[in-house]
Amino acid sequence: QVRLVESGGGSVQAGGSLRLSCTFSGYTYTNMGWFRQAPGKEREGVASIYAPGRFIYNVEYADSVKGRFTISRDNAKNTLYLQMNSLKPEDTAMYYCAARSGARATTLDKNEYNYWGQGTQVTVSS
């Protein structure tokens, strides 16, 4: 059974940091990503990682988070991470973990992902 569970969200002041975690089970996903959705806005891709095996092959970031966010994955723990530094009020959103099987690349297109977690809220105050 496919299952993705996010954690680590919370409230932080601008300039602060948070680390999101997503534990996954049910399958070995070659491509996983983080997405976010602010009220009244479409869900957007934040970061994606392609890791078919032990070594990371490729990562991709949205321009808005480059240099501030880092996506990583620990296969031994079945956990995906998103380290978020230098947070800004515009980073406030519900953050979702997503996965797809059989992929051979990264993508920030939400329509390409098959499986989703329930989300974790991140709020950044100025």
pLDDT of residue 51: 86
* CA–CA gap between residue 79 and residue 124 (Å, rounded): 24
Give percent of the chain with pLDDT exceeding 70: 100
* CA–CA gap between residue 108 and residue 46 (Å, rounded): 7
Which residue type, as a one-letter code, is found at position 120? T
Instruction: Identify which of 51, 26, 35, 44 has the alpha carbon closest to the alpha carbon of residue 105.
Output: 51
pLDDT of residue 103: 84
Instruction: Identify which of 85, 82, 101 has the alpha carbon closest to the alpha carbon of residue 35.
Output: 82
Q: What's the alpha-carbon Rg for the chain, to the nearest Å?
A: 13
pLDDT averaged per 10 residues, the chain (length 126): 92 98 86 96 97 83 98 91 98 97 91 96 98
